[in-house]
Structure formats: structure tokens, C-alpha cells
Amino acid sequence: MTPLLEAIEIARHFPLAGKLFRRSTRAVKAVDGVSIALHAGETLGLVGESGCGKSTLGRLLARLDEPTGGTIRFEGQDIAGLDEAALKPFRRRTQIVFQNPYSSLNPRQTIGDTLIEPLLIHGIGDAASRLQRAHDLLDIVGLRREHFGRYPHQFSGGQRQRIGIARALALEPALIICDEPVSALDVSIQSQILNLLDDLQKRFGLAYLFISHDLRVIEHIADRVAVMYLGRIVEEAPVADIYARPRHPYTQALLAAVPVPDPARRQPEVVLEGNVPNPIDPPSGCHFHPRCPLAEARCRSEMPPLVTGAGGHKVRCWVNQAEDPVVRNAWQI
């Protein structure tokens, strides 16, 4: 089956400012050779810490930014180098929901106008059918019709995120890229939005690329999970597999660091030390080796490839290789 969205070795390098009259040869490799596939109706969770490149990858796949290398295919068509006019059909099929719904909504526009605008831009329907569609969208996301004429400031954070989702649904997309959609919300509101996203996926067969730093949210919402570190994917696997048997030492560290809401299970003292290295000057070999207790000579000199093992479990590690029957946990004493 052809994937809905497929990225092959895509990269986004941000060149650093050079000295006057001299071009810089250095660059921040925010996304550095990422290959990823997303099928219709599935949720791919993308996790990693600040600066790992997960949001940049999301922006590339939504074509809000142009990759500096690689290919992106959407429904079989290469969209990596298309200009804005040529991208218009793609824009109908892919939408994005941002973290902060307040800053992504126009404060001077009523909710009704916000929902009608995408239909106008794409020339869909007549005035009456657009109005009807906007009302339907309010129903779909659990808002009321009397909300139609109100402004963003009149809503709570959770309601604003519902509006953001309604706007994303207006054009009946196949894919929604959700960039930290519940990170600004309280846990009781967060659960409402996660339930809504789940309902909408079942109802409309949507695919989600769900970007989050919250591993509990990802475990709940994702079918497959990809872990990013310094611009690269270091592990990708079905959700149950990666949470039960993480192979990459970085994934193991991330999962061990999540505070478990159970005082009877106080976590071991062993946690990942240090910080994410400077992406301008990443470590040689495997980017994770300076922080990895399992690192060997080869890890310092050679970047491991992302290898696919049984059950589609991919891992980029010389020590815990994809096909090894034994997985070493880097953080167990």
C-alpha cells in the first residue's frame, strides 16, 4: 500500500551567518536525513526534547517550510520543491493544529468567519452551504451554534483548541499535523481534546502526525512512535513495542525519566546526565555517544544506520542493533 505521506532523506539545514562578504559553510542541521511514512487513518507520534527538530520536521511535512534536501511524496506526488500555487491542492489535504490556539487564531475575526475563510480561499460552495458547513463544524468539535459570532478571547483554552481543530477540518483533509496540541492545557481539558481527536480520526479516517514532548500523551494516542535526537530519528516502532522494549539508549532514558503517577513506584536514581549537544557542532559518530553508558569505540567514529528489525522496529544503534535478541538497558545498574 502506498503511504499517504512519505518523506525520503529530507533535510533542513539553516546556514549560519558568515562574516561580512564571506559565505558561511556551517549550518544548523535541524532535520538531517529523515525518512518517514504515514498511512491513511494512522497516528504517528513524534517525540523528542526541545531542539531535536521535531517541530521543524512537522513544518517541512506540512510544507510551511521548504526542505534543503530529500523528497516528500503526498498521495504519490512529489511536493518537496513545489511553489505556493502548485501546492494549493495539497493544502486542502493537509492541515495543521498548533500548540497555542490563542496565537494561531485571529483575535479580530469571529469564529464563524475563521471557519468560513478556508472554504472561501479554496472556492468551495456558495454562501449558504459555507454557512451550513461552519455550523456543522461547530457541532463536530463539540461547540455550540451560538459560538458562531464570538471572538477568540471569549473562549477558554480548551474551547480555543476545539476551534483550531474545527478550522483544520473545514477542508476535509486526509492528514492533520498536530504540533503539541494539548501541551498548554490542564490535564482534565487535555483528556477532552485527546478524546475528540480520537473520535474524529475514527469518523473521518484521518491520519495524524502527533508531535509532543509528553510521552504519556504519545503512548495513549499513537499507533507508531518515532523518537528524534539532534535532527535524526533514532528509533521507530509500534507503540506497545517501543514502550515495552525500547532499544535505543536515548529512548530508554526518556521513558525512565517520565514521572510515574504512582508513589509506590519511585523511580531509580539513574537518569540521563548532561544536555543535548550544540546542533551546530554535533558529536562525531553516533550523536548520542557522549551521554551513552553503552558507547563503544565504533559509536564515536561512525554514525549507525537506522535498521529495521522484526515487527518493523527500527533503531539507529551499534550496541542494541535491530535484530539482536538481547536488548541491553543502558540505565540499569
| Residue choice 272, 286, 299, 319 for contact with other proteins (CB under 8 A) | 272
Q: Which stretch binds other proteins (CB under 8 A): 10-18, 99-107, 146-154, 184-192?
A: 184-192
Residues in the chain, how many?
A: 333
Torsion angle, alpha carbons of 63, 65, 67, 68, to 10: 160
What is the C-alpha to C-alpha distance for residues 287 and 276, in angstroms, rounded to an integer? 9
Residue closer to other proteins by CB (options 164, 249) is 249
What is the C-alpha to C-alpha distance for residues 254 and 266, in angstroms, rounded to an integer? 16
- DSSP per position, 97-112: E-S-TTTTS-TTS-HH
| Residue choice 16, 257, 280, 307 for contact with other proteins (CB under 8 A) | 257
What is the C-alpha to C-alpha distance for residues 150 and 154, in angstroms, rounded to an integer? 7
| Residue choice 156, 284, 301, 332 for contact with other proteins (CB under 8 A) | 156
Give the CA distances from residue 297 to residues 197, 263, 276, 294, 328, in Å, rounded to whole numbers and listed in that order. 45, 40, 21, 10, 17
Give SS3 for 320.
coil
Q: Which of residues 82-141 bind other proteins (CB under 8 A)?
A: none
269 binds other proteins (CB under 8 A): yes
153 binds other proteins (CB under 8 A): no
Residue closer to other proteins by CB (options 71, 183) is 183
195 binds other proteins (CB under 8 A): yes
Q: Which of 206, 169, 3, 6 is nearest to 92 (CA)?
A: 169
263 binds other proteins (CB under 8 A): yes
Residue closer to other proteins by CB (options 127, 260) is 260
Match 562525531 to its residue by C-alpha cell: 284
Q: Which stretch binds other proteins (CB under 8 A): 15-23, 103-111, 169-177, 265-273?
A: 265-273
What is the C-alpha to C-alpha distance for residues 298 and 319, in angstroms, rounded to an integer? 9
b/e 116-135 (16+ beta carbons within 10 angstroms → b):
bbbbeeeebeeeeebbebbb
281 binds other proteins (CB under 8 A): no
Q: Which of residues 33-62 bind other proteins (CB under 8 A)?
A: 49-50
Give the CA distances from residue 59 to residues 95, 210, 252, in Å, rounded to whole numbers and listed in that order. 11, 12, 27
Q: Please, what is the minimum distance in Å from the beta carbon of residue 210 to other proteins?
A: 12
Q: Which of residues 201-230 bind other proteins (CB under 8 A)?
A: 213, 215-217, 219-221
245 binds other proteins (CB under 8 A): no
Q: Please, what is the minimum distance in Å from the beta carbon of residue 95 to other proteins?
A: 21
Residue 205's Cβ-count burial label (10 Å; 0-12, 13-18, 19+) is exposed
| Residue choice 104, 110, 192, 321 for contact with other proteins (CB under 8 A) | 192
Residue closer to other proteins by CB (options 71, 192) is 192
Residue closer to other proteins by CB (options 22, 265) is 265
Residues that bind other proteins (CB under 8 A): 49-50, 156-157, 186-188, 190-192, 194-195, 198, 213, 215-217, 219-221, 239-240, 243, 253-254, 256-267, 269, 271-273, 275
